[in-house]
Amino acid sequence: MNQHIKVICMMLVIIMLACLATVWAKLVLQDVPPFTFVWLMVLFGIISLTVYAFVIKRERLPIGLGIRCWFYLIATGILYYCVYRYIYMVSLEKIDATTHVYIINFTGLVTMGLSSLLLREFPTTIQVLGAVIALLGLWLYFDQVPVGGELQGILLLLIGVLCLALTNIFIRLLGRISATRLSSTMVAVLTIWIGGLPLLVLGLIIDFPPAVTQLNSWLVIVFNGIVVLAGSMVVWSHALRTLRSYEASILASSGVIFTALFSIPILGDRLETHEIAGIAVMLVGLTLTQIRRSLRR
Confidence at 240, pLDDT banded by 50, 70, 90: low
CB 267 within 8 A of CB 98: no
CB 97 within 8 A of CB 23: yes
pLDDT value at position 127? 72
What span, in angstroms and rounded, lies between the C-alpha atoms of 248 and 198? 31
Q: Specify the higher pLDDT residue, 8 or 44.
A: 44
Q: Rounded to 5 degrees, what angle do the CA atoms 70, 74, 80 make?
A: 145
Q: What percent of the chain has pLDDT over 90?
A: 25
What span, in angstroms and rounded, lies between the C-alpha atoms of 198 and 145? 37
The runs of H, that is alpha helices, within the chain are 3-28, 34-51, 67-77, 85-94, 97-104, 107-114, 125-141, 148-178, 184-206, 215-223, 232-239, 245-253, 255-267, 273-294
Per-residue pLDDT, averaged over 235-247, amounts to 64
Mean of the per-residue pLDDT values for the chain? 82
**CA neighbor of 24 nearest in space, from 228, 179, 232, 210:** 228
Residue 219 has pLDDT above 90, yes or no: yes
pLDDT value at position 238? 66
Residue 83 has pLDDT above 70, yes or no: yes
pLDDT value at position 237? 66
Instruction: Tell me the pTM.
Output: 0.83
Confidence at 297, pLDDT banded by 50, 70, 90: very low
Count of C-beta atoms within a 10 Å radius of residue 221: 26
What span, in angstroms and rounded, lies between the C-alpha atoms of 263 and 253? 17
User: pLDDT digits over 192-207, tens only?
Assistant: 999 999 999 999 999 9
- The number of domains in the chain is 1
pLDDT value at position 259? 86
Region of 179 (left: φ > 0; alpha: ψ -120 to 50; beta: rest) is alpha
- Tell me the residue range of the domain where 129 lies: 3-294
User: pLDDT digits over 21-51, tens only?
Assistant: 989 999 899 899 999 999 999 999 999 999 9
